[in-house]
Amino acid sequence: MSVQTTNTLPLAGYTVFEIGQNVAAPFAAQILGDLGAHVIKVEKPSGDDARRWGPPDWEGAAAMFQTLNRNKTSQTCDFRDPVQVEALRKQLLEQADVVIQNFRPGVLKQLGLDDSALRTAKPELIYCDMGAFGRGGPLSELPGYDPLMQAYGGLMSVTGEPGSMPVRTGYSVIDCGAGMWAAIGVLGALLQRERKSGGEGEGRGNGARVEVSLFETALGWMQIAAAQYMASGTSPGRHGSGAASIVPYRAFEASDGHIVVAAGNDGLFAKLCNVLGHPEWTQDPDFSGNAMRVRHRDRIDGLIQAEIQRRDRAHWLKVLRAAQVPCAPVQDTAEAFGCEQAQALGVMQDVPDSEMKLMGLPLRLNGIRPAIRTAPPALTPLRRSEGVLS
């Protein structure tokens, strides 16, 4: 599949400094790097903690780190050393279009690397502040991690089987979601800055402070649940693989595994009933419209399950797709990335000068997926040239 070169990518020519670690800030910076920005990852001397978040390890660092840090260069800074901090500050003012940071609240302010200090000296700078609970409010100074936000933001209350212990989604959806919001905010700020730019020789327009937080991201993913609560006064609960307000819309167990059926309207429900050999279900008052099916979800789900379990997944995929009923097998990681559709899309990309393959950016521009141009960087110790980081 075709890939784009750096100079054809939309962010070519922009320089982004990532002063962060773990998942959220690295993911945000990686998105911008995939889109062509020159990303400099500033790490403490021991490196991003995520370098050691294995096993499994992969070519010198944890696989988790490797998949979040391609298309970047690395440099270290000892934030306890005033000389190194001042060198970094000078570098930011000279080179940075964007700074993304997710340090604990107040740390960078004490070092003179906060939004106010840097943008006073360089008004065109775009500074993205990624916090845990957001600025303002009684919890704004607390640190945060993905599972804490899945708990505090309500996601655990709607995830899992009814009556079960709280569970988090399998991977860091809050961290990655916050990274996506950060990238979106930075892109919007860059566009706004360019629109405010003067004519030739008049310089760039003012930058912006972009603020995102893990907590707000968690609440954002709960917007449907929030609307349902506001409308009904009742908090949605757990429905396993199903949905609070659509039935049938869940996983059913076939003879050799699970398959998800999403009959999201009356027409699709009728098609499903016909495929299952029970057209009479559409005449049952308990199933006459989605609202009634929601009220009687246990009954209709039980009837469907009794039929699905009689045959294997391949059978049901064939007949349901032929009837245009949306469905999908529940695949594990190997099946998902090995399936014909993933292969056809070319989502896995070779990493230059490496044996690794990583998931590419999940978008294409004019039919072309941005390339992985460089491998995730090895930890690069500080070098000094006349007291300035290089």
Q: Which residue is catalytic, options 34, 115, 175, 301?
A: 175
Q: Which residues of 125-151 are buried (b: 16+ CB within 10 A; e: fewer)?
A: bbbbbbbbbbeeeeeeeeebebbbbbe
Beta-bridge partner residues of 221: none
- What is the Cα–Cα distance from 175 to 159, expressed in whole angstroms? 17
Residue 118: exposure state from Cβ atoms within 10 A (0-12, 13-18, ≥19)? buried
- What is the Cα–Cα distance from 337 to 340, expressed in whole angstroms? 9
Residue 115 annotated in active site: no
- What is the Cα–Cα distance from 179 to 243, expressed in whole angstroms? 26
What is the residue whose two structure tokens read 């292969």?
A: 343
In the numeric block, which tokens belong to residue 85? 């901090």
Beta-bridge partner residues of 368: 365
Where would I find the H helices in the chain? 24-34, 63-66, 82-95, 107-110, 115-121, 146-152, 173-196, 214-221, 223-232, 266-275, 290-295, 297-308, 313-322, 333-338, 340-345
- Whether 214 and 168 have beta carbons less than 8 Å apart is answered as no
- Active-site residues, by number, are 175
